A and B are shown apart, each in its own frame.
Chain A
């Protein structure tokens, strides 16, 4: 955070002649696929992070892989910076345009190319919506597991770029665990196939490197995703607690009992109340915290896991337990959780959604300290939590049009991220760094570690023209940001005097 006066021009580029580029693009793309007038550019000024809009110089919307390659080659020839955009739902500003660059939008590549129900995979273009994959494979009783809360809108290309998670990560993994292969276009406009239809490929695991690389290394034009058999049954338990700490301990107790639920979510009182007023999911308004715990599998497996989990929750001091009675009820319980962000958005006009991950055992302490910061920054914060995997989403509520609230919200967010690092966690679990958390990268990593990232970046993009100013800070930026990275609890050079 702290981007109110942000400067994207960290990688200075030569001034690019807009007219020349437009002409070049029009020679390979249709007229409606090249946008360069301000009124046509404005809809692309931001993604899911709306606080830092920026108008791109040119927007291009290629319709196929060949056009993507041609656009890449033109940009390469004219040294034009490129930002990639899928559905524009990202929360960390990864697709915020660069004012002196090209925004390459992949939304027109939205074909599901191939479904192999026997081999259990689907080949899809990057603009395909996450939820559309499972919709298309439903008839084969197969589905694509990662389910970010924006799944009805977000695209698979963006999911790969961000390594998106969702509420079922604990059992089924993130994007990186659920894709087999990508077609990747380099900055030079060359196509490389990374991964395979088999399980392991020779050499370095480029698929792991590319997944979550936030558009810094190249662009993906096709993704082969793994499909899993749809579980016969799913059932959810909602458990109320009169104390957040008890709810946190219950999560550890479930894991200790050898149960890995399909989903394990926690919400605090503020989040529960916001959701309940928004959609009436039947959440306990008087509870200090609630857990939503899902079991899936065969009817027999689900019945036995639900019984076991209920016992654990009772022992852990749950004040009320509701087990979903049928599929409609289960979906209603989840609808509440999945609408937590917009629900909070109704309380105040703006919110920042933070995304730190912490060791689960530190949860009570972290929640207490986040609550204490409400006084410090004079803002409210609701918490939703992928409790199973320790991924915390504090939602800082503010009104950007009221005084210095935006600034205070940024500071509050930064303080939360720093707290996550302090307790042994990370600044981002699933939303990516983007521009939102770029300063906090300097806290999580020291200069040499960041240098390793920069070297990897340079290997793909020597001049820093792919998504400039995002995800990996320059060392200068870290020096200016001024926070000292503390390495494993000790300073790097303790004998050097500091002023």
Chain B
């Protein structure tokens, strides 16, 4: 029996034991996203040993890997072939795994222009709540056979099943990237983000960090230069800047308390959030403290979105608030895939 099969057997017996004993398990790779969630309950199922890229042919634009594969290794392999994960996933530490990247559903600066993890997930192989090995989606770019379970797993934080392998669509790296800065106040920066996002330019990221508006252009050399000429702005070293936004190592993220993420209509006003960091062409506002979840949710409701506690949640408290009707559907999904509540109890919701 190969090592991988031994590891899968261990996963299976942990799931079956939990079911028998009515306990729960917590699926964990590098633990780099442990900071996120309502609670961390259950015996750890450690996916770190289940590694390896199982399939990758650059011209197919599809990569399949086991969940414990270090995210770094995946990015390195893609980089050697001049390709990338289009959603630019945050690692949030040195030990991030591919499985954690899919399960967390966190996306980086390229989110607004290219899409999120869920936009690039093509398929998944999972162990369900009965420890049965199942496969959904596939390794091809278009697939509408059956419900889209593999996309549903993106962002589910291991609460619906244990992701063994995932297949994702990858893209060629842009020939050139250029970051330009604009000295603007927060209100004008937000307006500019929306204007740029509505213009036919190769925009790949925007961020206002309290001081300046940073704009990244990505594409062919000639296209990037032409777009820069059109929009102006002072050229700046971009790579380390975007890295600091993606990994939340930028000084903005150095505060203490509760970090909230407001995901709202990109044109939502600045309102009382004058010290927010704004990303994703205006649709994501990061704010420290400045009120309770309920208060932030009120603002978000008014502007077509949601507030989430991203960091600093007091264990046991909810991290988001959704409509009762939506909550019912969320619970139904959970019950249908994990009726005994074995996986990741209370990670996403205080109720289940």
* Cα–Cα distance between A424 and B60 once the two chains are bound (Å): 12
B142 near A142 (CB under 8 angstroms)? no
A176 within 8 A of B: yes
B1 within 8 A of A: no
Given contacts A118-B194, A119-B267, A208-B152, contact A456 B142 (CB under 8 A): no
List the A residue with the shortest CB-CB distance to B139: A424
State which residues 249-285 of A face B: CB under 8 Å: 252-253, 255-256, 258-260
B59 near A252 (CB under 8 angstroms)? yes
Selected from A297, A452, A471, the residue in CB contact (under 8 A) with B202 is A297
State which residues 132-152 of A face B: CB under 8 Å: 140-142
A211 within 8 A of B: yes
Given contacts A229-B198, A297-B223, contact A453 B82 (CB under 8 A): no
Selected from A201, A205, A256, A449, the residue in CB contact (under 8 A) with B152 is A205
A200 near B223 (CB under 8 angstroms)? no
A444 within 8 A of B: yes
Known interface pairs A198-B306, A444-B145; 20 further A-B residue pairs with C-beta atoms within 8 A, sorted by A's residue number: A141-B198, A198-B263, A201-B306, A204-B160, A205-B152, A231-B200, A255-B60, A258-B172, A297-B200, A298-B202, A304-B220, A357-B138, A358-B140, A389-B140, A424-B139, A427-B145, A429-B142, A445-B145, A450-B146, A472-B147
B144 near A199 (CB under 8 angstroms)? no
Counting chain A residues whose Cβ lies within 8 A of the other chain, the interface size class is 35 or more
B199 near A229 (CB under 8 angstroms)? yes
B263 near A201 (CB under 8 angstroms)? yes
Min CB distance B313 to A, Å, is 13
* Stretch with Cβ within 8 A of A (4 or more), from B39-47, B128-136, B178-186, B240-248: B128-136
What 0/1 pattern do residues 150 to 168 of B give for CB contact below 8 A with A? 0110111000100000000
A361 near B134 (CB under 8 angstroms)? no
Some 7 contacts from A to B, beta carbons below 8 A apart, are: A165-B142, A197-B303, A298-B227, A391-B142, A425-B140, A441-B146, A459-B335
A303 within 8 A of B: yes
State which residues 185-209 of B face A: CB under 8 Å: 194-195, 197-202
Min CB distance B87 to A, Å, is 11
B173 near A258 (CB under 8 angstroms)? yes
B304 within 8 A of A: yes
A360 near B60 (CB under 8 angstroms)? yes
Selected from A169, A301, A471, the residue in CB contact (under 8 A) with B223 is A301
* Cα–Cα distance between A224 and B194 once the two chains are bound (Å): 18
Residues of A within 8 A of B (CB): 116-120, 140-142, 162-163, 165, 169-170, 173-174, 176-177, 181, 186, 190-194, 196-206, 208-209, 211-213, 229-232, 252-253, 255-256, 258-260, 297-301, 303-305, 357-361, 386, 389-391, 424-433, 437, 441, 444-446, 448-450, 452-453, 455-460, 471-472, 487-488
Q: Which residues of chain B are near A229, meaning CB under 8 Å?
A: 197-201
* Cα–Cα distance between A428 and B141 once the two chains are bound (Å): 11
Given contacts A163-B144, A199-B284, contact A459 B202 (CB under 8 A): no
Selected from B112, B140, B319, B325, the residue in CB contact (under 8 A) with A199 is B112
Given contacts A199-B116, A304-B222, A456-B336, contact A428 B144 (CB under 8 A): yes
* Cα–Cα distance between A163 and B58 once the two chains are bound (Å): 26
Given contacts A204-B156, A205-B154, A206-B329, contact A212 B148 (CB under 8 A): yes
What 0/1 pattern do residues 208 to 221 of B give for CB contact below 8 A with A? 00000000000111
List the A residue with the shortest CB-CB distance to B307: A202
Residues of B within 8 A of A (CB): 57-62, 82, 105, 107, 111-112, 115-116, 118-119, 128, 132, 134-136, 138-149, 151-152, 154-156, 160, 171-173, 175, 194-195, 197-202, 219-223, 225-227, 262-267, 280, 283-284, 300, 303-306, 308, 319-320, 322-323, 325-326, 329-330, 332-337, 348-349
Q: Which residues of chain A are near B107, meaning CB under 8 Å?
A: 200
Min CB distance A440 to B, Å, is 8
Selected from B134, B151, B198, B221, the residue in CB contact (under 8 A) with A208 is B151
Listed from nearest, the 6 A-B pairs whose CB atoms lie closest are A197-B304, A198-B263, A301-B223, A202-B320, A198-B305, A208-B151
Q: Which residues of chain B are near A118, meaning CB under 8 Å?
A: 194-195, 198, 267
* Cα–Cα distance between A297 and B217 once the two chains are bound (Å): 13
B305 near A449 (CB under 8 angstroms)? no
* Cα–Cα distance between A298 and B202 once the two chains are bound (Å): 9
Min CB distance B259 to A, Å, is 15
Selected from B111, B152, B171, B198, the residue in CB contact (under 8 A) with A260 is B171
B142 near A198 (CB under 8 angstroms)? no
Min CB distance A481 to B, Å, is 15
Q: Which residues of chain B are near A456, meaning CB under 8 Å?
A: 147, 149, 333, 336-337
* Cα–Cα distance between A480 and B332 once the two chains are bound (Å): 30
Min CB distance A413 to B, Å, is 15
Min CB distance B188 to A, Å, is 14
A202 near B115 (CB under 8 angstroms)? no
Min CB distance B241 to A, Å, is 21
Min CB distance A107 to B, Å, is 23
Selected from A301, A426, A455, the residue in CB contact (under 8 A) with B226 is A301
Min CB distance B231 to A, Å, is 12
Q: Which residues of chain A are near B115, meaning CB under 8 Å?
A: 173, 177
B326 near A256 (CB under 8 angstroms)? no
Q: Which residues of chain B are near A301, meaning CB under 8 Å?
A: 202, 219-220, 222-223, 226
Min CB distance B153 to A, Å, is 9
Min CB distance B78 to A, Å, is 12
Min CB distance A423 to B, Å, is 10
Q: Which residues of chain B are near A299, meaning CB under 8 Å?
A: 226
Given contacts A120-B197, A203-B349, contact A192 B148 (CB under 8 A): no
Q: Which residues of chain A are near B283, meaning CB under 8 Å?
A: 197-199
